[in-house]
Chain A
Amino acid sequence: DAGVIQSPRHEVTEMGQEVTLRCKPISGHNSLFWYRQTMMRGLELLIYFNNNVPIDDSGMPEDRFSAKMPNASFSTLKIQPSEPRDSAVYFCASGDSSNQPQHFGDGTRLSIL
């Protein structure tokens, strides 16, 4: 079975550029989560979608961050403009209900120079 698929796996870009991270959740899952992981803060929830609808985006750090889920099989997280402090590993996870185990992708390691 295909798991959660994220792309790209690595992204290096200069400050001020737009960054788009992509996620394909597991088919049939109706919950989708975007997380950010850093050494200092660990795993932090950025935004939660249920049935393609954003339910909670209170974890999105700034207006520079936005996320969409145009259909059940695709989601994007966009940072515009990017800053060096956005450097982290970004994970997408999906689940078949909101409080059941989550299935994570292998993340996008983002470096903003």
Chain B
Amino acid sequence: SQKIEQNSEALNIQEGKTATLTCNYTNYSPAYLQWYRQDPGRGPVFLLLIRENEKEKRKERLKVTFDTTLKQSLFHITASQPADSATYLCALTGAGSYQLTFGKGTKLSVIP
């Protein structure tokens, strides 16, 4: 069956360092991979989308990579700030599909 794993339930990092979050998947051929941010008591907020034929996408301090051979995406936040503390979710969807399948998320805490 399809499976998405975000390797760490929680990640603590010092302010100013680069945070790297991992998303692995099995039994899936996604056309798109998305990353969302979720704050406590709020809904997920879209951050970045990367297509299967793209290796890397950047937006300000955020960078996403997508390796379809390794079946893995890495999500980087450079120069991390306490305001980056949140849960980050990866989500996959197949070509022509409407269904987003979410990982359970990684809770990132940036320590001042």
Using a CB–CB cutoff of 8 Å, the interface residues on chain A facing chain B are 4, 31, 33, 42-43, 45, 48, 50, 55-56, 91, 93, 98-107
Contact = CB atoms under 8 A, between A and B. Distances in A.
B103 A99 contact: no
A104 B45 CA distance: 7
Kindly name the residue among A31, A99, A107 whose own CB sees the greatest number of chain B CB atoms within 10 A.
A99
B96 interface: yes
Interface stretch (B36-44, B53-61, B72-80): B36-44
Interface in B73-106: 89, 93, 96-105
Which label, helix, strand, loop or mixed, suits the secondary structure of the A interface? strand
A48 B45 CA distance: 19
Nearest to A91: B43
A92 to B, nearest CB: 8
A33 B34 CA distance: 16
Contacts of A103: 46
Contacts of B32: 99
A42 B42 contact: no
A45 to B, nearest CB: 6
A48 B98 contact: yes
A97 to B, nearest CB: 9
19 contacts: A42-B103, A42-B104, A42-B105, A43-B44, A43-B102, A45-B99, A45-B101, A56-B98, A91-B44, A93-B43, A98-B98, A99-B32, A99-B96, A99-B97, A100-B49, A104-B43, A104-B45, A105-B43, A107-B42
